Amino acid sequence: MLKKLSEKKVRAALETVLHPKTGKSIVSSGAISDVTISDGMVNITMQIDQGTAGIMDGVRKKCDEAVAKLSGVKSVRTVMTAHSGKTGQDKPSRPMPATPPAPPAPKPIPGIKHILAIASGKGGVGKSTTSINLAASFSKLGLKIGIMDCDIYGPSVQRMLGNDGGKPDFTSNDMIKPVERHGMKAMSMGYLIPEGRATVWRGPMVIGAVQQLLNGVAWTDDGDLDILIVDLPPGTGDAQLTLVQTVPLSGVVIVSTPQDIALIDARKAYDMFSKTSTPVLGMIENMSMFICPKCGERSDIFGHGGARETAKEKGIPFLGEIPLHMDIRTHADEGTPIVLTAPDSPHAEAYLSIAKSLMAKMPD
């Protein structure tokens, strides 16, 4: 009887592959950061130092070969994730320069006209919901759209756009093929890692993952994109910084609820994007009000108007208000943005009107 394929067996097979730098196995050298197995398909993530992709490519092939020999393996794919430098106890062999070298200038992705990021300071204010509904609005307006989920630890796009359960494919030159959802291209860690599995990665690996989602995905193989929407995680950390340092953004939109605690963080997000010379195209107030479906009474659960005031204070456009409404949540949970499923609803119209004003603000 065939014994079940397991992560332990995959790691044992990888023990036979040596790391060229340490001379020890690739596993005991700590380079294998993740192994996932789904229906005989094995995905391995190998952490490498920046600038060593050439040497490590041979190791990557050896990993594929070693694991392919295991019984029950239908396919195996080792992906390299760049590590920005030495960590741990290793001492640098030379003194660190007083000022770190400037990162290379951001490079556009050929075939993508605009990259638009959706940000907030605080978590849970509705960035992902706004991202998918703005994407759907742009798509309805006739634009070719891609959506990149830049939230490595807590991806949502695979949920909010739906997941047919298939695993992403690779092109002949090892680029990840984006999935096709509602006529748009999408990619998220949520399509690559099984649901419920935590991404336990240090900052440098997040940097590598964001770079790979931008430049390692075949966004334009089936034709150019007008806009790539990037759904950011909360905060002003590695993901945000990597994004602005890797590609030039046409702009960023800041989403906030009207609550002070969210607005404080929204100002921090504004500050970070201003410091990195990213155009802030405006602010959206999400969960702006609630109308009781039973009695029609309006309640300002998180307050009202705070984002409009903050936009005024910062001298940036206020783009619009989206109410707190159950249908917005349920359609997103079902993987079908409300803009597409209830196109005549006032909520769909609110998103569409924001999309139109953003189109006018993006450079030609």
Ligand X SMILES: Nc1ncnc2c1ncn2[C@@H]1O[C@H](COP(=O)(O)OP(=O)(O)OP(=O)(O)O)[C@@H](O)[C@H]1O
The reply to whether 127 sits near ligand X by the rule CB under 6 A is yes
- In DSSP terms, which residues pair with 318 in a beta bridge? 283
For 314, other C-beta atoms within 10 Å of its C-beta total 17
By CB under 6 A, is residue 258 in contact with ligand X? no
**Under the criterion CB under 5 A, does residue 156 sit at the interface with Mg ion?**
yes
| 332 counts as binding ligand X under rule CB under 6 A | yes
Residue 60 touches ligand X, criterion: CB under 6 A: no
**Of 6-14, 88-96, 326-334, 356-364: span binding ligand X (CB under 6 A):** 326-334
| 58 sits near ligand X (criterion: CB under 6 A) | no
Query: Which ranges of the chain does DSSP label H, i.e. alpha helix?
Result: 7-14, 53-68, 127-140, 157-160, 189-192, 203-215, 238-246, 260-275, 306-314, 326-333, 338-341, 346-361
129 binds ligand X (CB under 6 A): yes
Q: How many residues does the chain have?
A: 364
Beta bridge partners of 145: 227
Please say whether the beta carbons of 118 and 130 come within 8 A. Answer: yes
What does the per-residue mask of binding to Mg ion show for 204-223, with x meaning CB under 5 A?
--------------------
> In angstroms, what is the minimal distance from the CB of 270 to ligand X?
16
Contact region with ligand X (CB under 6 A), list: 44-52, 76-84, 118-126, 138-146 = 118-126
The residue from 103, 108, 123, 346 that contacts ligand X (CB under 6 A) is 123
Binding window for ligand X (CB under 6 A); candidates: 136-144, 274-282, 298-306, 320-328:
320-328
152 binds, among ligand X, Mg ion, none (CB under 5 to 8 A by kind): none
236 binds ligand X (CB under 6 A): no
**Which residues does residue 346 pair with via DSSP β-bridges, in sequence order?**
none
H or E stretch at 145? strand 145-149
- Give the binding-site size for ligand X (rule: CB under 6 A): 21
Cross-strand partners of 47: 81
Nearest distance from C-beta of residue 355 to Mg ion, angstroms: 19
What the block records as the tokens of 247 is 């590609």
Residue 336 CB neighbour total at 10 angstroms: 19
- Residue 120 as a binder of ligand X (CB under 6 A): the answer is yes
Please identify which residue in 13, 14, 63, 287 interacts with ligand X, judged by CB under 6 A: 287
Interacting partner of 129 out of Mg ion, ligand X, none (Cβ under 5 to 8 A depending on kind): ligand X
For residue 56, count other CB atoms closer than 10 A to its CB. Answer: 22
Residue 286 touching ligand X (CB under 6 A): yes
Query: Cβ 238 to ligand X, closest distance in Å?
Result: 15
Please state whether beta strands 41-49 and 318-322 pair in parallel, antiparallel, or not at all (unpaired): unpaired
Q: Which is nearer to ligand X, 43 or 131 (CB)?
A: 131
Q: Which of 60, 83, 181, 325 binds ligand X (CB under 6 A)?
A: 325
Distance CA 275, CA 357 (A): 24
Stretch that binds ligand X, among 88-96, 101-109, 122-130, 202-210 (CB under 6 A): 122-130
Helix, strand, or coil (residue 23): coil
Q: Distance between CA 10 and CA 196 in Å, rounded?
A: 20
Q: Which lies closer to Mg ion via its Cβ, residue 47 or residue 156?
A: 156
Q: What is the residue whose two structure tokens read 């119209």?
A: 349
Q: How far, in Å, are 128, 132, 319 from residue 331 at the CA level?
A: 13, 11, 22
Positions touching ligand X (CB under 6 A) are 120, 123-129, 151, 154, 156, 233-234, 286-287, 322, 324-325, 328-329, 332
Residues binding Mg ion (CB under 5 A): 127-128, 156
